Amino acid sequence: MPTHRSTASDSDLKFWPYKPRLTLAATASALVGLLLAVAILRAFAKWPSEHSETVVLIGVLLLSLLPIALAVLDVIIDRGGTIEYGKVKIDFRGARKRRLPALRSRQILGSKDNRSPTARPRKSSIR
């Protein structure tokens, strides 16, 4: 039985695989959409109350900034950077070294019939 390997392009291995222009558009549309949702909920359901409105708006802002944060994280990982906060340190230098060049990984993972290069040839059922 042949083993099937899935081929993953470089954009499949990213947190945010889209271009910077789309990142900004996604951030702006998420902010507008979430603010409209909060406004509609405020008008019809009387939620959030004045007491919790600030917390909800901060949450809306943080959610809308998620595409930018993911794009920045991708850049840090691609360049082999480090994220450090207090005593927690995440080092991405090793992640950069382990990635195979794109051409070589396509040769290894994507043969014409999606089989392993060392797989045995199939027996023909036609006689």
pLDDT digits (tens, 9 = 90+) for 36-69: 999 999 999 999 999 999 999 999 999 999 999 9
Cβ atoms of residues 25 and 76 within 8 Å? no
pLDDT at 95: 76
Q: Evaluate whether 93 touches 80 at the Cβ level (below 8 Å).
A: yes
pLDDT of residue 120: 58
Please name which of 69, 81, 80, 78 lies closest in space to residue 26, comparing C-alpha atoms: 69
- pLDDT attached to residue 96: 64
Predicted structure pTM score: 0.66
Q: Which residues of the chain have pLDDT under 50?
A: 4, 6
Return the closest-CA partner of residue 71 out of 25, 17, 29: 17
Query: Rounded to whole angstroms, how far apart are CA atoms 56 and 6?
Result: 41
What single-letter DSSP state applies at residue 110? -
Residue 4's pLDDT is 47
Classify each residue of 105-117 as buried b or exposed e, where b means 16 or more C-beta atoms within 10 Å of its C-beta: eeeeeeeeeeeee
Per-residue confidence (pLDDT) for residue 118, from 0 to 100: 58
pLDDT score recorded for residue 111: 54
**Residue 113 parent element (H or E):** none
